[in-house]
Amino acid sequence: APWLPRAARVVGRFFPYYHGHEPAVMRDIALGCERVHMFSDEGMGGQDAFLLDITEQLSLIRSESALLTYFECIGKAFQGSCTSTAAASHARSRLYLWTRPGTPFYPTRHVRVAARSTMAALFPRGRRTRSVVYTMFRLLHPMYAISSVWMWLWDQWDQCWKWITDFYFTHRRRRFRLVPRRAD
């Protein structure tokens, strides 16, 4: 049926929004499309077509919660999947747009972090290199580096406070341990 690839593309574009909490189902749909060679006339597999459609859809979304849902679903559904070089490079370039503060989308901090974690899940081989390059560029702008550290501390305050108090009270008990005297 000629309408089947178009219907599968619509499902691929909107599935993460309505069923983002079920990424395994999306992976099964993509693999099913691959088995019946639904996108063979376009020279790509089902997973590639779904990944391309979803990354194209990201540029049309304006809601932060919807973007976070899409990023989470993409990261879980396509984690470790083998995609073609063309689809992987297209997905990398689209996701990279969401990791930068500023134009064209002006994403919030939560969206940038989610996009970075999605890239790490999809492309684990370059994760360390990307994080080193990102950190080096942040250090070139000291004002941004200071604000990044401050925001990280603010976000992780509960864990930092728990670590500090545990450390303090653990060492305090060791230093001032009261040893009971023996009765003579």
What one-letter code names the amino acid at 77? A
Its pTM stands at: 0.69
Distance CA(8)–CA(13), nearest Å, equals 9
Phi-psi region of 80 (alpha: psi -120 to 50; beta: other; left: phi over 0): left
pLDDT per residue as tens digits for the range 74-127: 888 888 776 788 888 888 899 989 988 777 788 988 899 899 889 888 888 888
Nearest by Cα to 92 from 78, 102, 109, 105: 78
Give the span between the Cα atoms of 34 and 50, in whole angstroms: 10
- Distance separating alpha carbons of residues 111 and 114, to the nearest angstrom: 5
At 103 the pLDDT is 75
Asked, as a colleague might, if the bond just before 104 is cis with ω within 30 of 0, I would say: yes
Lowest mean pLDDT segment, chosen from 59-68, 86-95, 122-131, 139-148:
139-148
- CA–CA dist 106, 83 (Å, integer): 28
Of 163 and 172, the structure prediction assigns the larger pLDDT to 163
Measured between alpha carbons, how far is 43 from 155 in angstroms, rounded to an integer?
45
Cα–Cα dist 50/12, whole Å? 5
Under the banding of pLDDT at 50, 70 and 90, the label for residue 17 is confident
Query: Which residues neighbour 66 within 8 Å (Cβ) at sequence distance 6 or greater?
Result: 17
